[in-house]
């Protein structure tokens, strides 16, 4: 009771002060703000959400990141795109163990508290679904950045380099691949060549400064920098070191690319350099002629972005956009270019070059080689230049 | 940072590296017993490694398929709505409208067996026994005319089945299409991991596209990768 009396007394005193002040400057009383809270939420005025369609099988499918609403390079964890094949498991981290076995000297079981005791590191990397921008490949371009490119997100991931865990188990001479398996209901599994496993792969428990979100693999996932999303196994429960790829469905049927000659490409791991203007972009309206800061994202699974060029005149000329620091390998890079819109009809395009010297191609260049016939799960690994059309009334559209 | 501090930091790094190299392991976690591994290891390789012993017939498979699978994939494996067809399409892969199914597209029968046991039926994955999985696999292959109606599959016969599209896949030739500034020269770095420590060092840098392709061509990869271990 005592604290409340004190508060009431303090309130009466401040009311008297307000009354006294009002006599001279007629101020309107201001409401007190909200109290403290344990876990923060965004402003109720911020409404941006992931996009997905209802389905008879809600446990399988994807939701898309609202790229047009993001600032900087980090995707808020709550807006990271989702792709699940058998729902999001609820895993008690005290019960979760990672088994490492197969062609190793010392098969080992690691609890989460063991995993966190190994030397850790944090790395900023994008994860992009192999099927991102597949509708653009199909000639049915996404209407806004979320619908066209929203199977892309970028986070700071914290965890243990996989090579440290493999060294702990000790590799046998015949070791050449490993099979990583999730603890989701469908035990999703993918084969990963050891050359990548010993390079930059992370066994991650942290995302953007806190534990992974359940939809991102809580409590443990693989982060395979620059490679297609599906191989970044979530809810990681088992790593089996092998001498061959095991030809799981998601590498020997799905996520393959059917070519016009009837042959299909498989083990197309790397997500090639790609970029998209996120503002101004499809679904947005320019308020009138004048200044606009064109901004967007560029990324490459092979390394760092070295250059982004933007055309504001339907591809007739290209200008170098500015790259905002940090420019990191296998992470998204924020670019921008100041632009004065004259009110006329035009289109906006971006193309990026990575530090291997590879430049993003046009859709026409891509389909001339790869064709327009979808594989078993649509189009994968498309990275063509995205075009946004600006109309005289200020509307921006995708076609 | 002062010069002295940089020297000190360098010294500490070397000292720490030496300490790790000497202890070689962190000794975290606990050894997994053969029984614990056996309970969790459900991996199946295309050569049949990992297949549990068991058997299942086309006849039994038809019964299980009709009870558990037909509701989504159709009575004849034709698919429905969002649920993919499992049957048909052989010979259509080069056409303008290829039909991609287990029968026409999937390269290994083990992939069908493995995926069925891992992920099907969709609402209750992981509930099929090995015998039931052999039976359903046999029936789906029978519907695709890959095996005959009297077939009984087991761990020996399943990996011997040659799927129609077994030779229909090629390794990744990218970068194959690029914009005006160039195709680039991707680098692949191989690492050497010593048998008993953290001695991870660069061993090879592949700078040409041809070398990179060879690296990911897995008929070549195991040899090139295991050389450092020999």
Contact B105 A376 (CB under 8 A): yes
Please report whether residue B92 resides in a domain.
yes
Q: 3-class DSSP state for residue B48?
A: coil
* Mean pLDDT of the region B7-20: 35
Q: How far apart are CA B85 and CA B98, in angstroms?
A: 12
Give strand pairing partners of A303: A300
- What DSSP element (H or E) covers B34? helix B34-40
Chain A residue closest in CA terms to B95: A262
Fold for domain A61-265? Sulfite Oxidase; Chain A, domain 2 (3.90.420)
Nearest CA distance, A10 vs chain B (angstrom):
51
- Considering only residues B14 and A192, tell me which one the structure prediction assigns the higher pLDDT: A192
Could you tell me the pLDDT band of residue B23, with boundaries at 50, 70 and 90? very low
Q: Are residues B151 and B210 in the same domain?
A: no
| Residue B18 pLDDT > 90 | no
Nearest CA distance, B47 vs chain A (angstrom):
9
| Residue B216 pLDDT > 90 | no
Total of domains in chain B: 2
| Residue A5 pLDDT > 70 | no
B19 touches chain A (CB under 8 A): no
pLDDT of residue B22: 37
Cβ neighbours, 10 Å, residue B4: 8
* Mean pLDDT of the region A175-185: 96
- Considering only residues A143 and B19, tell me which one the structure prediction assigns the higher pLDDT: A143
Could you tell me the pLDDT band of residue B5, with boundaries at 50, 70 and 90? very low
Please report whether residue B62 resides in a domain.
yes
Q: Are residues B46 and B113 in the same domain?
A: yes
The per-residue pLDDT for range B108-122, each reduced to its tens digit, is 999 999 999 999 999
Q: How far apart are CA B48 and CA B63, in angstroms?
A: 25
* Mean pLDDT of the region A316-335: 97
Contact B43 A243 (CB under 8 A): no
Angle at the Cα of B195 from the Cα atoms of B33 and B31, rounded to 5 degrees:
15
Contact of A380 with A228, CB cutoff 8 Å: yes
Q: How far apart are CA A271 and CA A129, in angstroms?
A: 9
What is the residue whose two structure tokens read 């047009």? A68
Q: Are residues B222 and B151 in the same domain?
A: no
Q: Are residues B48 and B146 in the same domain?
A: yes
Segments making up each domain of chain A, as ranges = 61-265, 274-397
| Residue A385 pLDDT > 90 | yes
B115 touches chain A (CB under 8 A): yes
Q: Are residues B154 and B193 in the same domain?
A: no
pLDDT of residue B213: 43
Q: How far apart are CA A269 and CA B216, in angstroms?
A: 10
pLDDT of residue B24: 57
| Residue A107 pLDDT > 90 | yes
| Residue B147 pLDDT > 60 | yes
User: Last residue of a domain, which of B160, B179, B204?
Assistant: B160
pLDDT of residue B183: 86
Q: Are residues B207 and B147 in the same domain?
A: no
pLDDT of residue A112: 98
Give the ipTM: 0.91
- Considering only residues A288 and A5, tell me which one the structure prediction assigns the higher pLDDT: A288
Please report whether residue B155 resides in a domain.
yes
Nearest to B29 among A109, A270, A361 (CB): A109
Nearest to B118 among A100, A187, A267 (CB): A187
Q: How far apart are CA A292 and CA A290, in angstroms?
A: 7
How far from the centroid of its chain's Cα atoms is residue A272's Cα? 15
Domain interval for residue B91: 42-160
Contact A302 B186 (CB under 8 A): yes
- Asked, as a colleague might, if the bond just before A219 is cis with ω within 30 of 0, I would say yes
Task: For chain A, give the number of residues.
Answer: 399
B 50-79 residues inside an 8 A Cβ radius of A: none
Strand A221-223 and strand A189-193: the pairing is unpaired
Query: In the numeric block, which tokens belong to residue B179?
Result: 């914009």
| Residue A195 pLDDT > 70 | yes
Please report whether residue B29 resides in a domain.
no
Nearest CA distance, B111 vs chain A (angstrom):
6
A56-65, A197-206, A389-398, B12-21: least confident range: B12-21
Cβ neighbours, 10 Å, residue B78: 14
* Mean pLDDT of the region A138-157: 98
Report the CATH number of the A274-397 domain.
2.60.40.650
Q: Are residues B46 and B143 in the same domain?
A: yes
The per-residue pLDDT for range A18-68, each reduced to its tens digit, is 445 455 667 899 999 999 999 999 999 999 999 999 988 888 999 999 999
Contact B31 A177 (CB under 8 A): no
| Residue B90 pLDDT > 90 | yes
A96 touches chain B (CB under 8 A): no
Could you tell me the pLDDT band of residue A183, with boundaries at 50, 70 and 90? very high
Helix/strand number for chain A, H first, E second: 8, 23
pLDDT of residue A363: 98
pLDDT of residue B9: 34
* Mean pLDDT of the region B202-220: 40
Q: Are residues B214 and B135 in the same domain?
A: no
Do domains A61-265 and A274-397 share one topology? The answer is no
Give every CB contact of residue B10 below 8 A, 6+ residues apart in sequence: none
Q: How far apart are CA B39 and CA B207, in angstroms?
A: 43
B8 touches chain A (CB under 8 A): no
- Extended strands (E) in chain B: 30-31, 55-57, 152-154, 169-170, 188-192, 201-206
Average pLDDT of the residues of chain A: 94
* Mean pLDDT of the region B193-218: 40
Nearest CA distance, B104 vs chain A (angstrom):
11
Nearest CA distance, B208 vs chain A (angstrom):
11
Q: Are residues B48 and B114 in the same domain?
A: yes
B107 touches chain A (CB under 8 A): yes
Q: How far apart are CA A34 and CA A12, in angstroms?
A: 20
pLDDT of residue B171: 87
Least Cα distance to A355 among A329, A322, A331, A335 occurs for A329
Nearest to A198 among B84, B108, B200 (CB): B200
pLDDT of residue A384: 98
* Mean pLDDT of the region A159-174: 94
Please report whether residue B90 resides in a domain.
yes
pLDDT of residue B17: 37
Contact A176 B114 (CB under 8 A): no
Query: In the numeric block, which tokens belong to residue B202?
Result: 């660069």
A24-33, A90-99, A191-200, A360-369: least confident range: A24-33
DSSP A161-205: EHHHHHHHH-B-TT--EEEEEE-STT--EEEEEHHHHTTT-EEEE
Cβ neighbours, 10 Å, residue A295: 21
pLDDT of residue A128: 98
Q: How many CB pairs under 8 A join A and B?
A: 247
pLDDT of residue B214: 43
pLDDT of residue B182: 86
Please report whether residue B154 resides in a domain.
yes
Backbone angles phi, psi at A113, to 5 degrees: -65, -25
Q: How far apart are CA A316 and CA A361, in angstroms?
A: 15
Least Cα distance to A140 among A363, A376, A377 occurs for A363
Q: Which of A249, A298, A369, A385 to mutate to test the interface with B (most CBs of B within 10 A)?
A: A249
Q: How far apart are CA A173 and CA A121, in angstroms?
A: 28
């Amino acid at each position: 009771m005592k604290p409340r009396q004190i508060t009431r007394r303090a309130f009466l005193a401040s009311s008297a002060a307000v009354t006294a002040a009002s006599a001279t400057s007629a101020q309107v009383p201001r409401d007190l703000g909200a109290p403290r809270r344990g876990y923060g939420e965004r402003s109720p005025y911020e409404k941006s959400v992931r996009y997905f369609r209802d389905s008879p099988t809600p446990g399988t499918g994807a939701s898309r990141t609202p790229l047009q609403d993001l600032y900087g390079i980090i995707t808020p964890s709550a807006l990271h795109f989702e792709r699940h094949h058998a729902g999001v498991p609820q895993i008690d981290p005290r019960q979760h163990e990672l088994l490492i076995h197969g062609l190793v000297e010392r098969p080992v079981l690691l609890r989460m508290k063991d995993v966190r005791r190994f030397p850790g590191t944090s790395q900023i990397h994008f994860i992009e679904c192999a099927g991102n921008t597949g509708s653009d490949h199909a000639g049915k371009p996404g209407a806004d950045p979320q619908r066209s490119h929203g199977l892309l997100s970028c986070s700071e991931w914290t965890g243990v380099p996989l090579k440290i865990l493999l060294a702990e188990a000790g590799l046998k001479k015949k070791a050449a691949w490993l099979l990583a398996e999730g603890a989701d209901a469908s035990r999703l599994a993918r084969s990963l060549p050891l050359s990548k496993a010993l390079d930059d792969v992370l066994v991650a428990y942290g995302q953007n400064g806190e534990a992974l979100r359940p939809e991102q693999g809580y409590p443990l996932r693989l982060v395979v920098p620059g490679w297609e999303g599906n191989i970044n196994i979530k809810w990681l429960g088992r790593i089996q070191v092998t001498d061959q790829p095991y030809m799981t469905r998601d590498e020997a049927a799905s996520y393959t690319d059917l070519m016009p000659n009837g042959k299909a490409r498989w083990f197309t791991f790397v997500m090639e350099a790609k970029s998209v203007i996120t503002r101004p972009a499809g679904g947005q309206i320019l308020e009138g002629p004048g200044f606009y800061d064109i901004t967007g994202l560029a990324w490459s699974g092979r390394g760092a972005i070295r250059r982004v060029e933007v055309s504001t005149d339907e591809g007739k000329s290209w200008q170098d956009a500015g790259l905002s620091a940090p420019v990191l390998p296998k992470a998204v890079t924020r670019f921008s270019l100041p632009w004065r819109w004259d009110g006329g009809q035009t289109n906006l395009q971006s193309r990026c070059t990575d530090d291997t010297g590879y430049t993003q191609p046009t859709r026409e260049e891509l389909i001339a080689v790869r064709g327009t016939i979808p594989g078993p799960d649509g189009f994968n690994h498309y990275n063509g230049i995205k075009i946004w059309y600006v109309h005289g009334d200020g509307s921006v559209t995708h076609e | 940072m002062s010069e002295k501090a940089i020297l000190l930091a360098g010294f500490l790094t070397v000292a720490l590296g030496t300490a790790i190299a000497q202890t070689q392991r962190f000794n975290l976690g606990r050894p997994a017993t053969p029984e614990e591994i056996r309970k969790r290891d459900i991996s199946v390789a295309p050569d049949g490694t990992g297949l549990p012993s068991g058997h299942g017939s086309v006849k039994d498979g038809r019964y299980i398929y009709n009870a558990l699978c037909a509701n989504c994939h159709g009575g004849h494996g034709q698919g429905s709505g969002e649920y993919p067809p499992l049957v048909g399409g052989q010979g259509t892969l080069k056409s303008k409208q290829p039909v991609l199914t287990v029968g026409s597209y999937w390269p290994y029968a083990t992939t069908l067996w493995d995926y069925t046991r891992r992920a099907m039926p969709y609402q209750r994955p992981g509930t099929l026994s090995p015998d039931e999985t052999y039976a359903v696999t046999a029936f789906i292959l029978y519907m695709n005319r890959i095996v005959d109606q009297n077939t009984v599959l087991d761990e020996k016969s399943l990996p011997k089945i040659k799927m129609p599209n077994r030779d229909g896949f090629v390794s990744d030739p990218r970068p194959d299409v690029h914009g005006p500034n160039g195709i680039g020269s991707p680098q692949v770095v191989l690492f050497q991991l010593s048998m008993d420590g953290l001695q991870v060092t660069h061993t090879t840098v592949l700078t040409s596209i041809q070398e990179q392709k060879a690296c990911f061509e897995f008929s070549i990869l195991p040899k090139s990768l295991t050389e450092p271990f020999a």
